[in-house]
Amino acid sequence: MSTIVKAIIGVIAALVIVSVLAFAYGSTNNDIDSYGITYEAGSTDPAKIEYWATPSGGKRTAAPVAVDADKQKGAAFSQESIVAAGSSAKIIVTPVGNTIASCKIVLDKRLGNNATVLAEVVSTTPGQPVTCEKALPKGQPQGAIPS
């Protein structure tokens, strides 16, 4: 076998090894790229609500955008959303009347008892808005809970 053929076989073998290692790393790198969030808001009067979520129809890793919503008098507000890792989950509740408002950000609410409350605020002054916000870390392994 000539030296050129041996060199070509060596290069091909090296490329195969690098490709296998790259594939193996890519398939085992299961970092969280987005979080399942449930936003909740409360007040006895209607309220204006603004929360941040991945744009509808967008990639789940897209930067979140502000979404406006209204809470009707006496009705509960709960909205499931996707928020990209490395972004912040945020909700602002502004009561229309002179009532107490509250907000909550829940991680993986569908897990029931295993759901984690990331932020919860109740206003201390009637009529004042409340804000819940939680930075969601990037590069966390699957199953990690943001602290």
Same domain for 78 and 126 = yes
Tell me the per-residue pLDDT of 23-57, one tens digit each, with 9 for 90 and over.
444 444 578 888 899 999 998 888 999 999 988 77
Same domain for 41 and 26 = no
Q: What 3-state class would DSSP assign to 146?
A: coil
pTM exceeds cut of 0.85: no
Number of H helices, E strands in the chain: 1, 8
Tell me the per-residue pLDDT of 63-97, one tens digit each, with 9 for 90 and over.
788 888 877 776 789 999 999 999 999 999 999 88
Distance of CA 107 to the CA centre of its chain: 8
Same domain for 72 and 14 = no
Cα dihedral: 137, 140, 142, 143 (round 10):
-70
**Structural domain that includes position 17:** 1-30
Let me know if residue 142 belongs to a domain. Answer: no
Answer whether 86's CB lies under 8 Å from 61's CB.
no
Answer whether 101's CB lies under 8 Å from 92's CB.
no
Distance of CA 61 to the CA centre of its chain: 9
Answer whether 70's CB lies under 8 Å from 49's CB.
yes
